[in-house]
Amino acid sequence: MNILVVDDEKDVQILFEQRFRKEIKCGEIKFAFAFSGEEALQYLNDYNHGAVLILSDINMPGMSGLELLRHIKEKYNAPPPLVMMITAYGDAENYNTAMRLGADDFLTKPVEFNILKEKLKAIQ
């Protein structure tokens, strides 16, 4: 499973690599990291959405996570990758907008990696 993680914080990459070290070692999951919405779109263009799942932060400088969500759902729809929003802002407005734009799930930070792992298992 290819997962693209989009977050402006660079330490997110290290975190994911640590929390999923087993899965990465076994080759169960392959992670790619983008540090902005633009980078994420670039990646999707280049790799022709090899990513099946996209985990994106909402608050990022430049293109916000919600805009990225909209772009992805509009352009890439055969089949559309799953997009889950992970963000510190867990308020209703953000949630509704994300859902309206087609987000498949909505998680709040701090990320409970156990729950995330379960959700990923459910997808597989």
Partner 1 sequence: MINLASLNSSDVIVFTLAGMLIIILLFGFIMYFLFTYRHKQRDFNLLQIQKDEIGTQKQLLEKTLIDLKSAQAQLIQSEKLASLGQLTAGIAHEIQNPLNFVNNFSEVNKELIDEMQVAIDTGNISDIKAISNDIKENQEKINQHGKRADAIVKGMLQHSRTSTGVYEPTDINALADEFLRLAYHGLRAKDKSFNVIMKTDFDKSIGKVNIIPQDIGRVFLNLITNAFYAVSSAPSTSKSPKGDLPYVPTVSITTKLIKSPLGDLGAKRSTGTETVEISIRDNGSGIPKDILDKIFQPFFTTKPTGQGTGLGLSLSYDIIKAHGGELKVETKEGEYAEFIITLPV
Interface with partner 1 (CB under 8 A): 9, 11, 14-15, 18-19, 58-59, 61-64, 66-67, 88-89, 93-94, 97, 109-111, 113
Please enumerate in sequence order all residues whose Cβ is within 8 A of that of 110, keeping only pairs 6 or more positions apart, or say none: none
User: Min. distance of Cβ 43 from partner 1 in angstroms?
Assistant: 21
User: Min. distance of Cβ 60 from partner 1 in angstroms?
Assistant: 10
Specify the DSSP class assigned to residue 111. P
* CA 93 – CA 90 distance, rounded (Å): 8
Q: Closest CB to partner 1 among 53 and 101?
A: 101
